[in-house]
Structures are given as structure tokens and as C-alpha cells.
Amino acid sequence: MRRQAAIAVFIMILGCANGVLAAVLPQVEAEAAVVMRAGDKRVLYAKNLDNVMYPASTTKIMTLITALEQGDPDSVVVVSPAAAGCEGSSLELRAGDRLTLRAALYGLMLVSGNDAAEAVAENVAGSVPAFVRLMNDKADQLGTVRTQFSNPHGLPDPNHFTTAYDLALMTAYGLQNPVFASIVSTREYDVHFVSRSGRTHARNTNKLLGTYTGANGVKTGFTNAAGECLVAAAKRNGVQLIAVVLNSDKRWEDATRLLNYGFQQLGL
């Protein structure tokens, strides 16, 4: 399937060169990128779609999928000292905090909380390594072949990698789950705690939500090793597109061009 998709893109490019297609291929700064129609996994554009890349926090797409399938959104997550001390982007959880899994997942996806990722993993599977095994098992089930996770948040590790195509595949699957789709399309959310008063206001880091017509997800990511990453999604006239941009200095422009191109190819 992967090679067929790559061949289809190559043919499409040849068609453009011969004037068969009116649309001009988008100029993309990203090291790797892909646009996929979610319904049938058709690749509309690709650049280095099989290159192994660091995913940064786009990892959390699989963290969310795994947590929703293995856990109860209404269960209570207890934050350990290890989770509270996780480096990087944070929901500012404290050791001993108690909140619902649902609330933790909003914090995971909207503000990209690494602390939330570890807390979710520990509470859903009993430990981070056990949760990561579930993530990898699910990735295998979905047909990814160049994806391996070593943590639930995406901090750099030589054994933690994926491809633009694999990320699109995982996202297409995730968007079929209404709870997943609701979380990743939410622009703002108040995270309340079971154990204490007050709340944490979470604002989605995805700038396309509310600014790009039809945008409905999904996840940003950044580390020095990965560069700027974005998995964007948009739906028009019932057609769901997914654009993946990895290691780009212009991820918002890249994703916008890719989605525009995809919809243009489909006459939408």
C-alpha cells in the first residue's frame, strides 16, 4: 500500500509536468510531508513520506489513541512525582494532583503537557514502559512499518521515530473516534481537578483551528532534534484531509499550502 501510494504521487507529478493537472504542486519547506484523504488513505502529495524522523509531540496522537482505547475517560488519574517533574511543555501538574483521564487528555493535546503524558501512561497501563508497549502494538496493528515509540510525550530518543506517512495513517484512524476528534478540535478547555480547587486554562497550540476553513485538529510538536512539526486536519463537504509536516521552519504555511492543494485536487 505504501509503495503504491508513492507511485501514485510520482505519476501525479509527471501529470503536472505534462499539463495534465491544472494545480501547481505546493512549495513545501518541510523535510518530510504528506497530504492524505483519511477515508481511503489516498496520498494526494508526498515529500520524503517514508523518511524516518523524530516526531516530537505529534507522538501524543498515539498516546491519545492508546489512552482512549485502554482507559476510561471518567477514571481518576493520580499524578506521581516523576510525572510532575517531566521536562518540557507542561500542564503544570503537581505531585498528588487528581484529575479525570478526560481532563488530562485535554491537557495532553491542547498545551502538549509532557507531565500529562506520563501521568496518563502510568495510570492507564501501570507504568510508562507498559503503556509504550501498547502504543507500539497499536502502531503495528495500523500497518505502520517505520514507527517505534520509546515514550508517551515525544522527547528525543534514538529509539523513538516515525514517518510522515505513518503519522497520517495513525491520525486517520484516531479521527474515527468521536472523543479523539472532539479533543483535537477543541480550541480552549478548562482543566479542573478532583483533588483541589482552581483550574488550569488550556489553549490549543494549533493556530489553524478557527483560522483555516474546516480545520479540525490535530497536533503540534517541537524539539531541537525534530524541528517544528505539525499534523493538521481539515474537513470540507464531508471529506477529511490530513497534512503532516515534519522539520519545517514554516509549518503553518506548509500545512496551509498542503491542505489547499489537497482540496483543490479533489475539487473542493
User: Binding site residues for substrate, as ranges?
Assistant: 219
Beta bridge partners of residue 231, listed in sequence order:
219, 244
- Identify whether the C-beta of residue 102 lies closer than 8 Å to the C-beta of residue 195: no
- The C-alpha cell at 74 is 471518567
Task: Determine which one of 47, 57, 138, 235 is catalytic.
Answer: 57
Active site residue 127: no
Residues recorded for the chain: 268
Is residue 253 within 8 Å of residue 245, measured between CB atoms? no
Instruction: List the catalytic residue out of 80, 89, 112, 150.
Output: 112
Is 185 labeled as catalytic in the residue annotation? Answer: no
Report the phi/psi class of residue 210: left, alpha or beta, with left for phi > 0 and alpha for psi in -120 to 50: left
Helix (H, G, I), strand (E, B) or coil at 228: strand
**Which grid cell sits at 135?**
502504543
In whole angstroms, give the CA distance from residue 146 to residue 26. 25
Report the alpha-carbon distance of residue 125 to residue 128 in Å, rounded.
Answer: 7
Question: Residue 90 has which C-alpha cell?
Answer: 507542561
- Binding site feature residues: 219
For residues 82 and 96, is the Cβ–Cβ distance under 8 A?
Answer: no
Contact 60, 204 (CB under 8 A): no
- Among residues 242, 237, 188, the alpha carbon closest in space to that of 61 is found at 242
Active site residue 250: no
**Complete DSSP assignment for 100-160:** EHHHHHHHHHHS--HHHHHHHHHHHHSSHHHHHHHHHHHHHHTT-SS-B-SSSS----TT-
Residues belonging to the active site: 57, 60, 112
